[in-house]
Amino acid sequence: MTIRQREIGDVVVLDIDGKIMGGVDSELFQETIQSLIDSGKRKVVVNLENVKWINSTGLGVLIAGYSALQKSGGRLKLLQVSERVEGLLNITKLSTIFESYQGEDEAVESFV
Amino acid sequence: MTIRQREIGDVVVLDIDGKIMGGVDSELFQETIQSLIDSGKRKVVVNLENVKWINSTGLGVLIAGYSALQKSGGRLKLLQVSERVEGLLNITKLSTIFESYQGEDEAVESFV
Amino acid sequence: MSDHPGTIEIRLPSQLRFLGVVDALVQSFSAEFGLGADEINNVSTATIEAASNAVEHANKFSENKQVLLRLRGRGNVVEVEIEDEGEGFDPRPYERELGTEDLLKLRGRGIFIMRSFMDNVSFSRLSSGGMRVHLRKVGKTTAGESDTQDAVRGN
Amino acid sequence: MSDHPGTIEIRLPSQLRFLGVVDALVQSFSAEFGLGADEINNVSTATIEAASNAVEHANKFSENKQVLLRLRGRGNVVEVEIEDEGEGFDPRPYERELGTEDLLKLRGRGIFIMRSFMDNVSFSRLSSGGMRVHLRKVGKTTAGESDTQDAVRGN
Ligand SMILES: Nc1ncnc2c1ncn2[C@@H]1O[C@H](COP(=O)(O)OP(=O)(O)O)[C@@H](O)[C@H]1O
Ligand SMILES: Nc1ncnc2c1ncn2[C@@H]1O[C@H](COP(=O)(O)OP(=O)(O)O)[C@@H](O)[C@H]1O
């Protein structure tokens, strides 16, 4: 997994590439979210366009980020979830907590 | 491998799907070419757009078709060769005998 | 997509980095036995969960331990066995639905996902002490059926 | 794409239908060790040639015989071994370039393709009588290097 960071106004987009599966990925993602929170960023879009799959530990990584942001009054939303990942979010009912968008503009505007 | 057959004027396009690798594929392809020859068709375009890969035995399958058509005064040309298959045609110098096109119109018109 | 049965066995090091290889392998194997796109994703996701557990909970990332995958296909049925070199465990506590209280937990979804995505999941203990997870999926999608009506098919 | 070495072993039935699985496997394994797209295709094509020979010439499609693939990666080097249960053969007559007289021949390109697409190809006889083909590729493409300059990387 690699994370690339972009800003659109006060919204931060994290472009994830590869698979998300705990271990090193977990630390990396949590550090990224923590440093965003520390620098006052609270609106985060996680772009999953280039994520082939996520395993259950990877879901935990996303949840940890979601909860950390939530606690500091922020939000984590998902962008471009593939059918495969959507299946996983549905079956685990995580689709009820993760807002998810197909278009980037839509995702960014949803914070206003 | 599956073969689907289309006609554009007096040119026959064979849309191949899957891998080409000898064995059953070989018989199928040869029978197809033979029946075209028997029914007076001599201009054949083999569309490789949906062929993921070919092995060396699969190259033999194409050569057999090429030679059979050549012998009866016909021609076999290739359409939409992928980079992977092109690498194989180059290294085996088969690119010097197989005419190959990226556009279908171009391939069909090349017979005139 | 003929009816010949076939079994493939794979031995992997206990490293998460090879889960991508597991995915590619299970995907192409399942496609060979005519499963549809969703079914293929589900078999692969379930296998990745079982393999993750084998690497992490059983083999504890040990260099000296391996994970064995056995893929078996016949007709439109695909079965996967995942064997580890761990100490085994009792899977019964995990044979349950996830409640709303579980929603934001960071772990504990693997076995639930396997059960959700497969037709059959069973666990057994190997004589060596490790676990074998057995996954089974029957293809319902008659993949490519209409597709081949006017096409002739080789291998 | 870390530097940890890793070996995967796969046992396959002697059926050509599983060459697609071999392709998927070798592709994803080679990608894991940072080979570029062309290099990945070449390793996979060479492996398919060796595996085709093992299935056809050595094991003669026998239900009782298997093909063993061993994939080994370290740094940017990928090695593949293909072992069969045949009677072995002398590869020396096939250590040659293809001439124009070979151009329209239907067979006899497999070993030439392996040699063309790999950095190193060697053959040895197993004590069981069968052959082992050893293929080696050093990744030259520094895949994704510029790509990761401003991205941080996990697994
Ligand atoms: N192969 C295994 N060997 C030993 N223990 C296992 C194995 N698979 C699962 N477990 C145990 O079952 C628990 C539940 O597994 P799972 O539902 O996959 O969730 P998670 O892996 O996130 O904990 C694990 O935490 C572990 O204690
Ligand atoms: N694993 C093997 N076991 C026995 N004989 C083999 C093996 N691999 C190759 N051969 C022999 O070497 C010949 C050349 O192989 P190759 O260059 O791959 O072309 P082809 O397979 O089209 O004949 C084969 O025809 C076969 O006689």
Q: Around C3, how many Cα atoms within 13 Å sit in the side-chain half-sphere?
A: 0
List of chain D residues whose C-beta atoms are within 8 Å of the C-beta of residue A57: none
Q: CB-based contacts of C70: which residues, under 8 Å, 6+ apart? A: C7, C8, C9, C10, C80, C81, C83
Residue C117 and residue C111 in contact, taking contact as beta carbons nearer than 8 Å: no
Span from the CA of C23 to the centroid of ligand 2 (angstroms): 31
pLDDT tier at C153, thresholds 50, 70, 90: confident
List of chain D residues whose C-beta atoms are within 8 Å of the C-beta of residue C28: 20-21, 23-25
Domain boundaries, chain C: 6-153
Specify the range with the lowest mean pLDDT, choosing from A22-26, B85-89, C47-51, D71-75. Answer: A22-26
Q: Considering only CB atoms, which residues of chain C are within 8 Å of chain D?
A: 2, 4, 6-13, 15-18, 20-21, 23-25, 27-29, 31-32, 155
Q: Which of C63, C74, C80 is nearest to C23 (CA)?
A: C80
Task: Identify the residue among D12, D23, D25 best suited for mutation to test binding to C, counting C beta carbons within 10 A and taking the highest.
Answer: D25
B59 pLDDT above the threshold of 80: yes
Q: CB-based contacts of B65: which residues, under 8 Å, 6+ apart? A: B29, B30, B33, B44, B46, B76
pLDDT at C147: 45
C2 pLDDT above the threshold of 60: no
Cβ contact A21–D151 (<8 Å): no
Q: Is the CB of C126 under 6 A from ligand 1?
A: no
CA distance B43 to A87: 47
**Distance (Å) from the alpha carbon of C14 to chain A's nearest alpha carbon:** 13
The residue assigned the tokens 């390793």 is: D43
Give average pLDDT by consecutive 10-residue segment, chain A, 112 residues.
96 96 88 96 97 95 97 97 96 96 97 88
Identify the closest residue of chain B to D55 by CA–CA distance: B23
Which amino acid is residue B64, in one-letter code?
A
Cβ contact D103–B96 (<8 Å): yes
CA distance A50 to A81: 9
List of chain C residues whose C-beta atoms are within 8 Å of the C-beta of residue A50: none
Residue D127 and residue B77 in contact, taking contact as beta carbons nearer than 8 Å: no
Cβ contact B2–C150 (<8 Å): no
Interface of D with A in 121-150 (CB under 8 A): 147-148, 150
Helix (H, G, I), strand (E, B) or coil at C143: coil
CATH 3.40.190.10 fits C6-153, yes or no: no
- Which residues of chain D, if any, have pLDDT below 50? 1-3, 143-149
- Write the CA distances from C100 to A89, A92, A93, C97, integer angstroms: 14, 10, 9, 10
CA distance C133 to A78: 32
C and B touching (3 or more beta-carbon pairs closer than 8 Å):
yes
Q: Domains for chain B: give ranges and CATH numbers.
A: 2-109 (3.30.750.24)
CA distance A1 to D1: 10
Q: Indicate which atom in ligand 2 lies nearest the CA of residue D53.
A: 8
List of chain B residues whose C-beta atoms are within 8 Å of the C-beta of residue D52: 21-22, 55-57
CA angle D8-D18-C84, nearest 5°? 35
Q: Which residues of D104-134 are buried (b: 16+ CB within 10 A; e: fewer)?
A: eebeebbbbbbbbbbbebebeeeeeebbbbb
- Crossing angle for the helix pair B56-71 and B24-38, to the nearest 10 degrees: 10
Residue pairs spanning B and C at CB distance below 8 A: 33
- Crossing angle for the helix pair C37-53 and A56-71, to the nearest 10 degrees: 80
- Tens-digit pLDDT profile for residues B6-56: 999 999 999 999 999 988 888 899 999 999 999 999 999 999 999 999 999
Cβ contact B21–D52 (<8 Å): yes
A and B touching (3 or more beta-carbon pairs closer than 8 Å):
no
pLDDT at D99: 87
Mean model confidence pLDDT for chain B: 95
Residue of C147, C150, C154 lying closest to B25 (CB–CB): C154
List of chain C residues whose C-beta atoms are within 8 Å of the C-beta of residue D31: 20
- Write the CA distances from A8 to A50, B105, C6, C57, integer angstroms: 19, 45, 52, 41
Span from the CA of A54 to the centroid of ligand 1 (angstroms): 17
- Tens-digit pLDDT profile for residues C55-107: 999 999 999 999 999 999 999 999 999 999 999 999 999 988 888 899 999 99
Q: Which tokens is B24 given?
A: 């059953």
CA distance A6 to A4: 7
pLDDT at A22: 83
Of C48, C89, C109, the residue with max ligand 1 atoms within 8 A of its CB, to mutate for a pocket test, comes to C89
pLDDT tier at C3, thresholds 50, 70, 90: very low
CA distance C25 to C14: 17
pLDDT at D15: 94
Span from the CA of A3 to the centroid of ligand 1 (angstroms): 28
Residue B98 and residue B58 in contact, taking contact as beta carbons nearer than 8 Å: no
CA angle C7-C9-C11, nearest 5°? 170
Q: Which helix (H) or strand (E) holds C149?
A: none
The residue assigned the tokens 């597991």 is: C22
CA distance D98 to B91: 10
ipTM: 0.91
Identify the closest residue of chain A to C111 by CA–CA distance: A56
Sign, CA dihedral D136-D142-D147-D148, equals positive
CA distance B111 to D105: 25
CA distance D69 to D30: 14
Q: Which helix (H) or strand (E) holds D155?
A: none
Residue A58 and residue A23 in contact, taking contact as beta carbons nearer than 8 Å: no
Q: Is the CB of C94 under 6 A from ligand 1?
A: yes
Q: Which tokens is C147 given?
A: 């597709």
CA distance A15 to B20: 38
C146 pLDDT above the threshold of 50: no
Mean model confidence pLDDT for chain C: 91
Q: Which of C14, C26, C131 is nearest to A53 (CA)?
A: C26
Query: Which residue lies with its CA nearest to atom 27 of ligand 2?
Result: D57
pTM of model > 0.90: yes
Cβ contact B3–C148 (<8 Å): no
